Amino acid sequence: MIELSTATYSLYFKTKPMVLIDARHLTPDEFAGKKLTVIKNTVIREGGRKTSLSELFDIEGPEVAPSDPAQITIIFETGSNKLCFIGYKMSKGKIIVKGDAGHLVGYKMKGGSILVEGNARDYVGAKMRDGTIEIRGNVGHRLGGKLLGEKPGKGMRGGTIIVHGNAGSEIGVGMEKGFILVEGNAGNLTGSDIIGGSIVVKGDSGIYPGAGMIGGRIIIGGRVEALLPSFYVDSFIPSISVKGIKFDKPFMVFLGDVIVGGKGLLYLSYNENTGLLEYYRSLIEDRGVEV
């Protein structure tokens, strides 16, 4: 069996960036088959100004990149929350950010993997179709979501996003497929307008998870501030397991959002939301269902 050679390109900021940088062309797909001299001349935008990659970064790597993007790893040795569009439309390969990242990490991503060792800003994984994004810190709003004004189903369409910290509001807004895991807490409107896929928040969430959801499932393992009245209680379960993530505690299951004819599933931890869910438990008991 012939082993394929791999190539790693390391990028170091020459100076700390002061304005947003559009890094959409710094992907394994864009580097594939190119000489290092050509890569260094890649045109990127610093604010509203066009510049070359070598003007902003010192670059280390092989003289010629493999023709297959899957064999290429790009490492931003110095991250920044000014670095936007990291991994834009990438299909293969790997990107590592040793620090923070800006807006739109993995926007329209088609495959491969992205690891951000720090925090990231808004729209991580927005409109992605496949691949894996892992954020070891916190993220901003609209994780795996659609853009403002777009219809439900225009968000994340596949792939996996894992956030080890907290996330902002509207996680997965408008998503169609895929899996999102937030190990910390989330903001308001988790899973709003989703039509499919799965969202798991291990910690607390804000108000109105699942607002406008048509399909899919949302699991909140912590406290929820408020629930919309357009969700109908369905059942009470002793535990739940999703994608290998198991919660050994009871959950109350709701159907909704019925105001849009939705048939999504919303799972809320009973122990952390007893005051909010007591009334719904009484409705289940009135049906003669044992809880």
Q: Which amino acid is at 161?
A: I
Question: Which residue range(s) make up the domain with 234?
Answer: 122-286
Mean pLDDT calculated for residue range 128-149: 97
Q: Long-range contacts for 288-291 (Cβ within 8 Å, ≥24 apart)?
A: 289/235, 289/236, 291/236
In terms of Cβ atoms closer than 10 Å to its own Cβ (0-12, 13-18, 19+), residue 275 is: exposed
Predicted local distance difference test score (pLDDT) of residue 291: 54
In this predicted model, which residue has the larger pLDDT, 279 or 169? 169
What pLDDT is stored for residue 17 in this prediction? 94
Asked whether residue 56 is domain-assigned, the answer is no
pLDDT value at 2 more than 70: no
Flag whether 81 is in a domain: no
Distance CA 104, CA 185 (A): 20
pLDDT exceeds 90 at position 224: yes
> Is residue 168 situated within a structural domain?
yes
% pLDDT > 90, the chain: 92
* Cα–Cα dist 126/106, whole Å: 7
The pLDDT score that the predictor gives to residue 69 is: 97
**Mean pLDDT along residues 243-251:** 95
- Beta carbons of 139 and 114 less than 8 angstroms apart: no
Instruction: Tally the domains of the chain.
Output: 1
pLDDT of residue 281: 85
229 belongs to a structural domain: yes
Q: Over range 33-53, report the average pLDDT.
A: 95
Coil, helix or strand at residue 69: helix
Element (H, E) at 232: strand 232-237
Indicate if the pLDDT at residue 3 is higher than 60.
Answer: no
Summarize the confidence of residues 171-195 as an average pLDDT. Answer: 98
pLDDT at 28 over 90: yes
pLDDT confidence of 1, banded at 50, 70, 90? very low
CA distances from 42 to 116, 127, 165, 177, 291 (A): 22, 25, 33, 34, 62
In a domain, 281, yes or no: yes
What is the average pLDDT score of the chain?
95
The β-bridge partners of 199 are 180, 218
As to burial, measured by CB atoms within 10 angstroms (0-12 exposed, 13-18 middle, 19+ buried), residue 183 is middle
The reply to whether 244 falls in a domain is: yes
In a domain, 178, yes or no: yes
Any domain includes 135 = yes
Per-residue pLDDT band for 39 (boundaries 50, 70, 90) equals: very high
In terms of pTM, does the model score above 0.75?
yes
